Structure 1
Amino acid sequence: MVGWAIAVHGGAGVDPNLPTDRQEQAKLLLTRCLNLGISALRSSASAIDVVELVVRELETDPIFNSGRGSALTENGTVEMEASIMDGSGRKCGAVSGLTSVKNPVSLARLVMDKSPHSYLAFSGAENFAKQMGVERMENDYFITEDNVGMLKQAKEANSILFDYRIPTSGYESCGVGVESPITMNGLPISVYAPETVGCVVVDSQGRCAAATSTGGLMNKKVGRIGDSPLIGAGTYACDVCGVSCTGEGEAIIRGTVAREVAAVMEYKGLGLQAAVDFVIKERLDDGKAGVIAVSEKGEVAYGFNCVGMFRGCATEDGFMEVGIWE
């Protein structure tokens, strides 16, 4: 028997001038989600059930960019995506292009458990949601007034913007100020502050699981798919660990970041924190991202190469931390 461990994130890349009340709101939500997961783990829930439970809670609260409160596409619509993976047998499910599903992570779980496939997208995923009878909402449930305003700013700037809490001038985010614009796939973007959500868990049986959910990028092109639903990029779980990523999706995809954490543990023999540190340093090129991870030994780890990451973690021996900054 190992001790259980859990970690949760609400995105990497935080405005250093984020108002204190916003910071506290985020930390309260992370704490609530951690406590939800801890309670389930103490009741002997499995790792896969706990990651779904926690990410559902994150999707239901509009503070972060997933489910309700998702970023808007160039057309002012939502295209949500999520994935989930059970390290026991490496089973997985993923969805993209959702417009009506209240909890994308639960549809991803149903793809894993109730379909012959690993990944469904757009109209196929929506049709599957209807067949499964999952809860669906009208479009205005997902769209917040703040995000409508942010999309307007993004269109005026002819750019991809990420979050209403980040000012469009005088900022420094992910360590890059306005004089040195951040690029994505070589193209400049105005602001970098993604807020994908995710959870990783190892239960008392040593089973690892991971789940990630997002609304993507503000003003993204319709049909863009990020790292969150891509198994091995934004989400991965196996016998040795569970990993969820957040940040610049295109860089995470290129580096197959989540799988890479597992790979350096398996093939280089690195411990969990050393594996996370190695991947953050060596596999992101110029990209900015954060990672949370657990191991089958009951360890928890995280790392990021930008100004901050909304995160929380806890272990069975009583350790608990919720933070944003280094």
Structure 2
Amino acid sequence: MGGWAIAVHGGAGVDPNLPPERQEQAKQLLTRVLNLGISALRSDASALDVVELVVRELETDPLFNSGRGAALTEKGTAELEASIMDGYKRRCGAVSGVTTVKNPISLARLVMEKSPHSYLAFNGAEDFARQQGVEIVENEYFITPENVGMLKLAKEANTILFDYRVPLQNGYDNCGVEVENPLQMNGLPISVYAPETVGCVVVDSEGRCAAATSTGGLMNKKCGRIGDSPLIGAGTYACKVCGVSCTGEGEAIIRGTLAREVAAVMEYKGLGLEEAVEYVMEHRLDGGKAGLIAVSSSGEVAYGFNSNAMFRACATQDGFMEVGIWE
């Protein structure tokens, strides 16, 4: 096949009652950043440059859960995390617990290229950001009135707001209807829709793969919680055969080393990209809800999700293009 390919996601799982105008806004944003990536690829930008470019754009728009508009911690603050991986040289960089860096994905790339390390967190990541001269903002920059309202809902329900609407344990859903068989995260009930993680995967015309993921985490998460997004092999992975970015229930993605598993079954079982994605979604989530996007070095693109939906957009050099939300 060959040629470049790109995929973008804005989170897995969507409120079934998401208003049509919000769905349209999401599709417009996905289309805009996809076209931005396509233009860069047509200008011979590297896969690594393109994933950073696209995720920076998503971090700057408050619609999804990364950068501005990120999910808030139990204390009402934003703690951001991101990771990036260059599959061509298998180099990576990641940050967690970032509170004043406007574009965490660019800080993750600087960790990869300008530090001796692969991962920096909290005060150390903040200090490094200042040494590198990246754009710094007040934590309030990331906080939107909508997310303040969602945090209030989460606190009233004494739960984590997750990325799709599910009932609370042994009680009532957010419409006051009595329910059973709730979904749980690590044994604890989770509920209602909140915007989710963003990510981008690219293979360029040279066959080099890269992946990038960025998130604010979960609404009402404990301060200091680290999800799958900054963990190489869990939320993000790229190597010579593919690039993968995940979204959804971070705890399940971590346990399943989801992104790396796609590469592993391609490398060791000889599966194609599409088959690898299907295999991993079926066998590695153990009841968790998640989605992922992937590209292969031969210019293919694939995605999978077992939640009710995933905000996504993808395109290939031979003219294929898709922007979607539902199954």
TM-score by length of structure 2 reads 0.95
1:163 and 1:218 in contact (8 A); partners too: no
SS of match in other structure, 1:324? strand
Write out aligned runs for 1:1-326 (5 A). Answer: 2-162=2-162, 169-170=174-175, 178-191=179-192, 193=194, 195-326=196-327
Structure 1 runs not aligned, ≥5 long: none
Query: What letter corresponds to residue 325 of structure 2 in structure 1?
Result: I
Deviation at 1:186, TM superposition (A): 1.2
Deviation at 1:15, TM superposition (A): 1.2
1: distance between equivalents of 2:159 and 2:165? 16
2: distance between equivalents of 1:38 and 1:60? 19
2: distance between equivalents of 1:127 and 1:282? 40
Identity of aligned residues (%): 81
Deviation at 1:191, TM superposition (A): 2.5
2: distance between equivalents of 1:225 and 1:182? 21
Deviations 1:269-321 (A, max 9, x none): 00001000000000000100001000000000000001000000000011100
2: distance between equivalents of 1:171 and 1:91? 49
The 1:254/1:94 distance shift into structure 2, 3 A limit, reads same
The 1:143/1:194 distance shift into structure 2, 3 A limit, reads closer
2: distance between equivalents of 1:190 and 1:46? 40
The 1:164/1:156 distance shift into structure 2, 3 A limit, reads farther
Deviations 1:168-216 (A, max 9, x none): 62499xxxx9533210011111235551000000000000000000000
1: distance between equivalents of 2:63 and 2:40? 23
Deviations 1:49-96 (A, max 9, x none): 000000000000000000000000001001000000000110000000
SS of match in other structure, 2:161? coil
Structure 2 runs not aligned, ≥5 long: 168-172
2:12 and 2:247 in contact (8 A); partners too: yes
2:164 and 2:194 in contact (8 A); partners too: no
2: distance between equivalents of 1:325 and 1:144? 26
SS of match in other structure, 2:228? coil
2: distance between equivalents of 1:171 and 1:258? 37
Question: Match of 2:170?
Answer: none
1: distance between equivalents of 2:165 and 2:125? 31
2: distance between equivalents of 1:81 and 1:302? 22
1: distance between equivalents of 2:26 and 2:149? 20
The 1:267/1:164 distance shift into structure 2, 3 A limit, reads closer
Query: What letter corresponds to residue 49 of structure 2 in structure 1?
Result: D
SS of match in other structure, 2:326? coil
2:15 and 2:192 in contact (8 A); partners too: no
